[in-house]
């Protein structure tokens, strides 16, 4: 197990809210080596003591159950260095004294700084075997920039020592999709185009762009969420059974799904996609301001795309992918709608009004599995001529010690397990499809449609949203 972490971007929100608290929990649970060390690196001109003073209250806020002794134990393992990530020599000097240890470098920084930082790491000896490198998504902003990052960094470190993160893959609920699909005959038997009519994947956020204006003005919902989290969920839902749970066998199947995605063309952009931007509105009774990007930015805060997977299993099955900010609630769900029965026997309801069988995987904020069936509520003396929807709900116990996704990802990277990380060909395949969507939007001049904060997207978003979610002026969508 590697025993030294270089954490770049140590003063950033990601590091302070999630990464350091995850390390605190791992240390408290005895899952890190006794001599584990952390070097925190960022541009701010602090010394180690000043950095501890900044980090301590953030740890207390994120982990209120942690004792001062626990926090002190972590802080004693952390020293701080100020570094200019655009200066190769500055990066090299900041790490060179620890490269005799087994090092992992974590880049929680904008992707535009990846190449210069990695060049400095290589110059300082921190990418030589057996050192490892962890990269936060996104890897670039399109196929061209992603290729530049992948190929340039590949000059300094082998692919089998690179760990590209999408923190959604560290969530237990997402991993459970694999268990449910491939551990149950009932599901695998119907998991194909013969029985499934449609799939909806929704990642909704009630928060706005606040605090990420510079990044979001360049990315938007498509590149920020669809390219990463939603496509990862799509792969989990749609991939073929892997030969084993070995990392590369799982990643092989995910890449096949991404390569089978039909590119979006401008001719069908208006039919198969929608983009919007939130205006002023109200969420939970509180006023929310409109998103005002910098002048010249055309980014969307809501994206809906109907994707098609051109292979034997999924031919003809639409996958409706939706994400948005300033929506009424924070939720992630996968809704699988099955086809109707082939011959309808019952008097009521009429076949057209019968609710289809649906399987709903609720991933956040609570983990739930719901199965919608049709059942007779009449007593046996009346016969089974009238059916009513019957919802079966299986609550997933989360326990009292629920792990942050980054805890699992840290441990896997320290131990060299690639299963929950994204391979280079997977990055390339994902960006290729996202670029087709962005190009189709541009060529079709697809407009940004406004929606008030607190509503489920633009007025025409209903057909992209799962059943039970109400878009304005459209009612419950199919």
Q: Helix, strand, or coil here: 202?
A: strand
For residues 233 and 257, the answer to whether their CB atoms sit within 8 Å is no
For residues 321 and 342, the answer to whether their CB atoms sit within 8 Å is no
190 to 237, 339, 418: CA distances (angstroms) = 13, 10, 30
Residue 255's CB is within 10 A of a number of other CB atoms, namely 20
Torsion of CA 88, 92, 95, 101, to 10 degrees: 130
Q: What is the DSSP string of 346-401?
A: -SBS-GGGSPPPEEEEEEESS-EEEEEEEEE-S-TTT-S-BEEEEEEEEE----SS
Lookup: tokens for 67: 């004792």
b/e sequence 277-307, b meaning 16+ C-beta within 10 Å: bbbebebeeeebeebebeeeeebbbbbbbbb
CA 404 to chain centre: 14
Q: Helix, strand, or coil here: 452?
A: strand
CA distance 475 to 478: 10
Active-site residue, from 229, 308, 320, 418: 229
280 to 9, 215, 222, 284, 331: CA distances (angstroms) = 32, 21, 21, 13, 21
Peptide bond into 393 cis (omega under 30): no
450 to 281, 395, 455, 464, 472: CA distances (angstroms) = 11, 36, 11, 16, 11
Any idea what DSSP says for residue 465? S
- Known active-site residue 200: no
What's phi and psi for 23, nearest 5 deg? -65, -35
CA distance 338 to 197: 5
Give the β-pairing of 37-42 and 132-136. unpaired
Q: Which residues are catalytic?
A: 229
């Amino acid at each position: 197990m590697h025993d030294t972490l270089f954490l770049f971007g140590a003063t950033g929100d990601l590091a302070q809210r999630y990464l350091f608290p995850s390390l605190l929990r791992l240390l408290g649970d005895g899952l890190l080596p006794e001599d584990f060390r952390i070097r925190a690196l960022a541009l701010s001109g602090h010394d180690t003591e000043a950095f501890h003073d900044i980090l301590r209250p953030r740890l207390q806020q994120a982990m209120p159950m942690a004792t001062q002794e626990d926090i002190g134990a972590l802080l004693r393992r952390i020293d701080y260095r100020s570094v200019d990530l655009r200066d190769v020599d500055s990066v090299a000097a900041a790490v060179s004294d620890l490269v005799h240890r087994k090092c992992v470098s974590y880049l929680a920084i904008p992707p535009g700084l990846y190449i210069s930082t990695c060049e400095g790491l290589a110059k300082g000896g921190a990418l030589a075997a057996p050192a490892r490198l962890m990269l936060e998504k996104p890897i670039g902003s399109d196929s061209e920039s992603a290729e530049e990052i992948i190929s340039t960094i590949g000059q300094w470190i082998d692919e089998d020592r690179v760990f590209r993160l999408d923190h959604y893959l560290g969530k237990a609920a997402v991993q459970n999709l694999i268990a449910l699909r491939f551990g149950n005959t009932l599901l695998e038997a119907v998991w194909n185009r013969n029985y499934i009519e449609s799939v909806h994947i929704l990642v909704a956020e009630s928060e706005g762009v606040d605090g990420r204006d510079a990044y979001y003005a360049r990315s938007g919902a498509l590149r920020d969420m669809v390219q990463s989290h939603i496509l990862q969920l799509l792969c989990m839902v749609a991939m073929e059974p892997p030969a084993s749970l070995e990392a590369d066998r799982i990643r092989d199947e995910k890449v096949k799904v991404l390569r089978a995605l039909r590119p979006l063309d401008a001719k069908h952009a208006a039919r198969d996609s929608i983009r919007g931007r939130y205006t002023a509105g109200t969420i939970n009774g509180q006023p929310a301001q409109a998103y005002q990007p910098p002048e010249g930015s055309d980014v969307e805060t809501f994206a809906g795309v109907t994707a098609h997977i051109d292979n034997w299993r999924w031919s003809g099955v639409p996958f409706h992918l939706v994400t948005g900010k300033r929506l009424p609630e924070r939720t992630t769900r996968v809704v699988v709608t099955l086809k109707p029965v082939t011959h309808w026997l019952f008097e009521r309801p009429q076949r057209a009004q019968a609710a289809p069988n649906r399987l709903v995987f609720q991933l956040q904020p609570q983990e739930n599995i719901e199965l919608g069936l049709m059942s007779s509520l009449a007593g046996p003396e009346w016969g089974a001529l009238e059916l009513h929807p019957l919802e079966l709900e299986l609550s997933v116990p989360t326990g009292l010690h629920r792990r942050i996704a980054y805890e699992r990802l840290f441990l896997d990277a320290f131990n060299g397990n690639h299963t929950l990380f994204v391979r280079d060909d997977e990055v390339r395949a994902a960006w290729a499809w996202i670029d087709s969507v962005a190009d189709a939007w541009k060529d079709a001049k697809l407009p940004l449609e406004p929606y008030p904060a607190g509503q489920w997207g633009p007025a025409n978003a209903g057909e992209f949203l799962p059943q039970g979610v109400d878009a304005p002026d459209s009612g419950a969508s199919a």
